[in-house]
Amino acid sequence: MVRQVDITKIDLSTGKAQKIADYVAEEVPLHLFVNTTFWATILCSPTNLKELAVGHLLSEGIIKSIDEIEEVTLKEKENTCIIKLKPDIKVEDRVQISRLHARVITSACGSGSPYQYKGAVPKVESNLKVKAQIIFESVNQLNFKAEGFRKTGGLHVAAIYQGDGSLVSLAEDVGRHNALDKVIGMAALEGVDFGGCFVALSGRISGDVAFKAAKVGLPIVASLAAALSSGIASAQESNVTLAGFVRGKRLNIYTSPERIII
């Protein structure tokens, strides 16, 4: 996930240059197949690749639960993951309602995202209520737990917590949507009930992030960063609670504020 490189560092205050070793985040392609059909190439960090593949298919609605998976095969040398579904699953029907219009998913997202929304965003039904202090502490823990980010400054981090603040899963990736897919996959493979959890992020809350949370039933999304208008619109439609700028002893709640209590 992290690679050491040689750089020339220039200090403008002293006018000096020196050659030093530094660290950068790695980015690799993951070629994802569903059964024998190529699904997409995801540009990502080379960690938790099985979990990324599973989480991606869950958050895109290609599979409804991990019970539909028969086998997951990761071929590391080929950067390929093959997810074999059970025979009664009609993959073609799922693909037709997918949002994915491009077959290369870049680590960047936002206005250049390959995602387009089709149909209604799923409604999240959850009675979860979480103390604001727990949300604040959980989001702010990300800075301490994100070892790759501290080394490179080039990674996003996501984590899923139970309502009491206990950590369920945490992952880093060059793409914020990839980091979210990884923690979703990790939690799903452990049989976690998403309705009793919330997700904390380091990156902006865009429409695709809110959509992915809603698709698996995560009722609260909280981030160190800002919410985008697309994220707010998606969260309003899906009844997801969105909290941004969770830092400095404050947080901004954009949608469904009743789930976060003082």
The answer to whether the CB of 69 falls within 8 A of the CB of 50 is no
**Cα angle, residue 183 at apex, residues 168 and 74 outer, rounded to 5°:** 125
- pLDDT by residue (tens digit) across 4-40? 999 899 999 999 999 999 999 999 999 999 998 888 9
Please indicate whether residue 47 or residue 121 has the higher confidence score (pLDDT).
Answer: 47
pTM over 0.85: yes
The pLDDT value recorded for residue 113 is 45
Count of all residues that appear for the chain in the document: 262
pLDDT band for position 117 (50/70/90)? very low
The answer to whether the CB of 40 falls within 8 A of the CB of 166 is no
Please indicate whether residue 210 or residue 102 has the higher confidence score (pLDDT).
Answer: 210
d(CA 156, CA 105): 16
Please indicate whether residue 195 or residue 154 has the higher confidence score (pLDDT).
Answer: 195
pLDDT band for position 41 (50/70/90)? very high
The answer to whether the CB of 147 falls within 8 A of the CB of 21 is no
Long-range CB contacts for residues 254-259, cutoff 8 Å, separation at least 24: 254/227, 256/219, 258/129, 259/126, 259/128, 259/129, 259/130, 259/219, 259/220
pLDDT band for position 158 (50/70/90)? very high
Domains in the chain, CATH or no CATH each:
130-261 (3.40.140.10)
The pLDDT value recorded for residue 182 is 98
- pLDDT by residue (tens digit) across 54-108? 999 999 888 999 999 999 999 999 999 999 999 999 877 776 656 555 567 777 6
- 109 catalytic residue (yes or no): yes
**Single-letter amino acid, residue 242:** L
- pLDDT by residue (tens digit) across 180-196? 999 999 999 999 999 99
Please indicate whether residue 96 or residue 216 has the higher confidence score (pLDDT).
Answer: 216
Q: Which entry of 44, 81, 109, 197 is annotated as an active-site residue?
A: 109
d(CA 200, CA 140): 9
Nearest to 194 by CA among 228, 221, 227, 173: 221
Is residue 138 over pLDDT 80? yes
Q: Give the H/E segment covering residue 89.
A: none
Is residue 219 over pLDDT 80? yes
| Average pLDDT value for residue range 143-166 | 92
Residue with tokens 């220039």: 10
Nearest to 201 by CA among 228, 172, 229: 172
The pLDDT value recorded for residue 120 is 61
**Single-letter amino acid, residue 201:** L
Q: What percent of the chain has pLDDT over 70?
A: 92
The pLDDT value recorded for residue 112 is 37
Structure-derived torsion over alpha carbons of residues 187, 110, 173, 148, reported in degrees to the nearest 10: -130
| Average pLDDT value for residue range 227-235 | 94
